[in-house]
Amino acid sequence: MELYNYIKSLHLIFVITWFAGLFYIVRLFVYQIEANQKPSPEREILLKQYKIMTYRLWYIITWPSAILASFFAFWMLFFTDLGSVWLKMPWMHVKLGFVFVLYLYHLKCHQIYKQLQNDDFKYSSNFMRLWNEGATLILFAVVFLVILKNAFNWIYGVIGIILFSVLIMLGFKFYKRIRERNKS
């Protein structure tokens, strides 16, 4: 059991650093997209710096954290006695579904990262601000699933995620209005 707690702790640490990397990389995407709209030489200076920052964040923190979080999760699930119990629980199946969605989100971020590294700007900064909330929704869903486990009421959970999404969208619209007002 003691080994399990060490593995679980390492899993949690790398989940936290993975999410931190995902939250920050998309914020850097916003800055990089907005820097591309600046006049020369400011644009070139900022873009060069953001490329360095995103490269370091992506390959030194975010990807290793994703891999290590998954490594320790597999270790807990497949090489400990408690893991076999968790795998029989319905909430764990749902959690693993969210982890799959998180990896899809991560891979899409990787695609956007590569595009921006090649000066291919396909998305607006507003899109990236909304995109950043995808990881937030997944984080909320997973944390509530893990904490509440079998006590989780699916109807309230779905309603809660929908309401949370609506609040995020309203907050985004409010923030956008403030930014537009400050530009005038």
Please tell me the distance from the alpha carbon of residue 140 to that of residue 164, in angstroms, as a whole number.
9
Question: Is 81 exposed, middle or buried, given 0-12, 13-18 or 19+ CB atoms closer than 10 A?
Answer: exposed
Please tell me the distance from the alpha carbon of residue 86 to that of residue 38, in angstroms, as a whole number.
51
Q: Is 95 labelled as part of a ligand binding site?
A: yes
When computed from its CA atoms, the radius of gyration of the chain, rounded to whole angstroms, is 19
* Exposure b/e, 29-46, CB count within 10 A at least 16 = b: bbbbbebbeeeeeeeeeb
The first and second tokens of residue 98, run together, are 């969210």
Strands (E), 109-168: none
Longest dimension (CA), the chain: 62
Distances (CA, A) of 163 to 34, 69, 109, 137: 30, 29, 25, 11
Binding residues: 11, 95
Binding residues for heme: 11, 95
